[in-house]
């Protein structure tokens, strides 16, 4: 199984500042035949189900604000919130879908306001 | 609008059984793979099981294999999870989730809480 790790475990960022979350997979999730990274990002606010933010490592889901962006390739990925808003307080998870089953999630990164 | 509504959770004793349901609406249910994902209290997300659109392909996490059974009824737009031989470590909120073009999870229900305790 592919193991996903995230760093940091939590971070506190001032409103309007940049938040950066890292995700690493134990093996590459880049499929060479289509040059796509099989990685997604989710946001989970307290008391709510997860919400898909990004798939293919960098494609924003419809309706997701453009302050959210994904980057990276192979085994190392980043979710960036360019200008943190109060409504962005949540736990963020990465997930690989390159080698399934099982899909596997990272342990999550909690984002708070400083 | 895509809607997924889980039901069937509750308190059950260790060794007991429970059947979860997920009612889907707002999309062509029979065209999508579906999943169950769980989240223990205060913990992260754990994929539990997946079923393809026509039920041809079914997969389970090792932690539930042999105890849980996923199924679907495309005529009723419903997904199910039969859970037997429940253990304390199965205590979690269980989410129904729709797969995207690949195995990302594009839509989630609100979840149903399963508590296994004596």
**Beta pairing, strands A10-13 & A109-113:** parallel
CA angle B39, B3, A92 (to 5 degrees): 40
% chain B with pLDDT above 70:
100
Q: Do residues B1 and B26 make contact, with C-beta atoms less than 8 angstroms apart?
A: yes
Distances (CA, A) of B59 to A11, A100, B36: 35, 9, 11
B111 with A49: Cβ contact below 8 A: yes
Written in H, E and C, the secondary structure of B53-75 is: CCCCCEEECCCCCCCEEEEEECC
Interchain contact, A49 vs B110, CB within 8 Å = yes
Nearest Cβ partner of B103 from A48, A97, A107?
A: A97
- Sign, CA dihedral B61-B75-B20-B25, equals positive
The pLDDT tens digits of the residues spanning A74-103 come to: 999 999 999 999 999 999 999 999 988 889
Give pLDDT, residue A14. Answer: 97
Residues of B whose CB is below 8 A from A106: 44
CA A2 to chain centre: 16
- Residues A75 and A33: their CA atoms lie apart, in Å, by 17
**pLDDT for position A110:** 98
B1 touches chain A (CB under 8 A): no
Q: What is the mean pLDDT of residues A58-69?
A: 97
Enter the DSSP assignment of A28.
Answer: -
Please list every residue in chain B whose beta carbon sits closer than 8 Å to the beta carbon of residue A102.
Answer: 47, 59, 61-62
Chain B closest-CA separation from residue A93 CA (Å): 8
- Note the pLDDT tens digit of each residue in B39-87: 999 999 999 999 999 999 999 999 999 999 999 999 999 999 999 999 9
- Is residue A21 pLDDT above 90, yes or no? yes
Is the Cα torsion angle B20, A91, A54, A102 positive or negative in sign?
negative
pLDDT at residue number B101: 87
**How far apart, in whole angstroms, are the C-alpha atoms of residue B86 and residue B91?**
9
User: What is the distance between the alpha carbons of residues A8 and A24, in angstroms, rounded to a whole number?
Assistant: 11
Mean pLDDT of chain A: 97
The pLDDT value given to residue B109: 98
* A81: its two tokens: 């919130």
| Nearest chain A CA: its distance from B76 CA (Å) | 24
- State the nearest Cα–Cα gap between B117 and chain A, in angstroms: 22
């Amino acid at each position: 199984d592919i193991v996903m790790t995230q760093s940091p475990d939590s971070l506190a960022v001032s409103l309007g500042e940049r938040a950066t979350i890292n995700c690493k997979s134990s093996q590459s999730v880049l499929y060479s035949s289509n040059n796509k990274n099989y990685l997604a990002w989710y946001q989970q606010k307290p008391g709510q189900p997860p919400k898909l933010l990004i798939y293919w490592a960098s494609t924003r889901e419809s309706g997701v604000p453009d302050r959210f962006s994904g980057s990276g390739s192979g085994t190392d990925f980043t979710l960036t919130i360019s200008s943190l808003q109060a409504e962005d307080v949540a736990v963020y998870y990465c997930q690989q879908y390159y080698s399934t089953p099982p899909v596997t999630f990272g342990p999550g990164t909690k984002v708070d306001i400083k | 609008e895509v809607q997924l509504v889980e039901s069937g959770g509750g308190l059950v004793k260790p060794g007991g059984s429970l059947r979860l349901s997920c009612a889907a609406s707002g999309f062509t249910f029979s065209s999508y793979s579906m999943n169950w994902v769980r989240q223990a209290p205060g913990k992260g997300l754990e994929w539990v099981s997946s079923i393809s659109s026509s039920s041809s392909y079914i997969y389970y996490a090792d932690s539930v294999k042999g105890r849980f059974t996923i199924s679907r009824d495309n005529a009723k737009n419903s997904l199910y999870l039969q859970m037997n031989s429940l253990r304390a470590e199965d205590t979690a909120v269980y989410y129904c989730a729709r797969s995207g073009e690949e195995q990302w999870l594009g839509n989630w229900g609100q979840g149903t809480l399963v508590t296994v305790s004596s």
